[in-house]
């Protein structure tokens, strides 16, 4: 499914991660990131392996698996890959597509610069990660 | 002996959370940071309380507790309490001084204003949170 630049920017404007950006800023984001598609059953990130990328899901679904066990599902609007990049460590989970995936990708080395250029995105990411931390802590019972 | 603003700034500058932030941000933080002292066994924050800010440990150490579980042990240069600052939800753990402990307290409103204007601070905080998510996740693996 090929999108025009206009359609892509419209789609981005509907995602929480980019909710605070103006139209010109959304266009900048669309310009810096690349669209990628993955078939079902593809492993995008591998537990323990180097090789990083930051992904924002536009359509489709992935499973987050640790030691083969599914821990979470991510779908449209969710992001992944940032943990390994920010910590400088290999991923601790596999990310595997459950359905055909359409995502925006940014190379690992570019993430910090991208977040500095778009502090509103960084702030949204901060809130989401804070929520993940609350949920992660809740598993302990 | 109370710390003056200059000493507070020096103490904060040594904390990884504030590494690389602008001088302006550092001065603002030091000006509003409040010093507090706790004896061994005293609670600094309690699970379920409304959170009003984050704490940086200047000296001593603390235990992070949820019910009877000890989740973590933190020492000088480390921080806690940031989750409530970011999402305004009640504290999800208690923090108890393990020995005589001195902290600097930073109020949510002061910190939030800075997070939005100082990208380095936001980036440092994201990295701190991400490291904690990773270690919280690893605790479930066995």
pLDDT surpassing 70 at residue B114: yes
The answer for residues whose C-beta is within 8 angstroms of residue B80's C-beta and 6 or more apart is B45, B54, B55, B57, B62, B64, B74, B95
pLDDT of B83 reads 86
CB of B86 less than 8 A from some CB of A: yes
Q: What torsion, rounded to 10 degrees, do the Cα atoms A127, B42, B99, B88 define?
A: 10
Mean pLDDT of chain B: 88
Residue A73, in any domain of the structure = yes
State mean pLDDT over B123-135. 87
Q: What pLDDT, in 10s, does the model give residues B91-112?
A: 989 999 999 999 999 998 888 8
| Closest in B83, B123, B127 to A130, CB measured | B83
Which residues of chain B neighbour A139 with C-beta distances below 8 Å?
Answer: 136, 140
Look up the pTM and report it. Answer: 0.84
Q: What pLDDT, in 10s, does the model give residues B19-49?
A: 888 888 898 889 989 999 999 999 999 999 9
DSSP A63: E
pLDDT surpassing 60 at residue A121: yes
Q: How near does any CA of chain A get to the CA of B92, in Å?
A: 8
Q: Domain-by-domain residue ranges, chain B?
A: 5-132
By mean pLDDT, which of A14-23, A75-84, B133-142 is the weakest?
B133-142
pLDDT of A137 reads 64
Percent of chain A predicted with pLDDT > 90: 76
Residue B26: both structure tokens together: 């550092």
pLDDT surpassing 50 at residue B142: no
The answer for residues whose C-beta is within 8 angstroms of residue B104's C-beta and 6 or more apart is B8, B11, B12, B33, B34, B35, B36, B55, B56, B58
Q: What is the CATH number of the domain that holds A103?
A: 2.60.120.10
pLDDT of A1 reads 53
pLDDT surpassing 60 at residue A87: yes
Residue A13, in any domain of the structure = yes
CB of B83 less than 8 A from some CB of A: yes
Residue A25, in any domain of the structure = yes
Which residues of chain B neighbour A87 with C-beta distances below 8 Å?
Answer: 127, 130-131, 134
- Across the interface, whether the CB atoms of B122 and A129 are under 8 A apart is answered no
Residue A89, in any domain of the structure = yes
pLDDT of B126 reads 92
- Across the interface, whether the CB atoms of B115 and A131 are under 8 A apart is answered no
- Across the interface, whether the CB atoms of A87 and B127 are under 8 A apart is answered yes
User: Could you tell me the residue range of the domain that residue A90 belongs to?
Assistant: 5-135
Contacts across the A-B interface (CB distance below 8 Å): 83
Domain B5-132: CATH architecture, name and number where available: Sandwich (2.60)
How far is residue B88's CA from residue A130's CA, in Å, rounded to a whole number? 11
DSSP A81: S
ipTM of the complex: 0.85
Q: How many domains does chain A have?
A: 1
Residue A71, in any domain of the structure = yes
By mean pLDDT, which of A48-52, A68-72, A113-117 is the weakest?
A48-52
| Cβ atoms of residues A132 and A101 within 8 Å | no
What SS3 state is found at A70? strand
CB atoms within 10 A of CB A32: 15
Closest CA relative to residue B35, chosen from B63, B62, B12: B12
How far is residue A55's CA from residue A36's CA, in Å, rounded to a whole number? 9
Residue A140, in any domain of the structure = no
Partners of B38 in beta bridges? B101
How far is residue A109's CA from residue A100's CA, in Å, rounded to a whole number? 26
Which residues of chain B neighbour A129 with C-beta distances below 8 Å?
Answer: 126, 129-130, 133
pLDDT of B140 reads 47
């Amino acid at each position: 499914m090929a999108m025009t630049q206009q359609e892509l920017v419209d789609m981005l404007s509907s995602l929480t991660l980019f909710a605070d950006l103006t139209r010109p800023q959304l266009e900048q984001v669309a310009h810096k990131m690349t669209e990628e598609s993955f078939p079902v059953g593809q492993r995008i990130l591998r537990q323990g392996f180097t090789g990083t990328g930051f992904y924002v899901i536009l359509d489709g679904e992935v499973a987050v698996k640790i030691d083969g066990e599914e821990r979470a599902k991510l779908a449209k609007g969710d992001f992944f890959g940032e943990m390994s990049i920010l910590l400088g460590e290999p991923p601790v989970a596999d990310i595997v597509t459950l359905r055909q995936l359409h995502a925006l990708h940014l190379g690992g080395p570019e993430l910090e610069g991208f977040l500095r250029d778009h502090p509103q995105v960084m702030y949204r990411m901060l809130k989401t990660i804070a929520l993940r931390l609350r949920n992660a802590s809740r598993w302990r019972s | 002996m109370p710390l003056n603003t200059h000493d507070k700034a020096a103490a904060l500058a040594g904390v990884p959370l504030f590494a690389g932030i602008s001088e302006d941000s550092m001065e603002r933080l030091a000006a509003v940071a409040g010093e507090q002292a706790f004896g061994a066994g005293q609670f600094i924050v309690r699970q379920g309380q409304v959170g009003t800010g984050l704490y940086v440990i200047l000296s001593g150490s603390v235990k992070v507790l949820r019910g009877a579980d000890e989740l973590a042990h933190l020492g000088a240069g480390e921080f806690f309490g940031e989750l409530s600052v970011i999402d305004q939800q009640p504290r999800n753990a208690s923090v108890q001084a393990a020995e005589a402990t001195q902290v600097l307290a930073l109020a949510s409103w002061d910190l939030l204003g800075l997070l939005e204007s100082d990208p380095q601070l936001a980036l440092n905080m994201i990295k701190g949170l991400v490291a904690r998510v990773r270690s919280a996740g690893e605790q479930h693996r066995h």
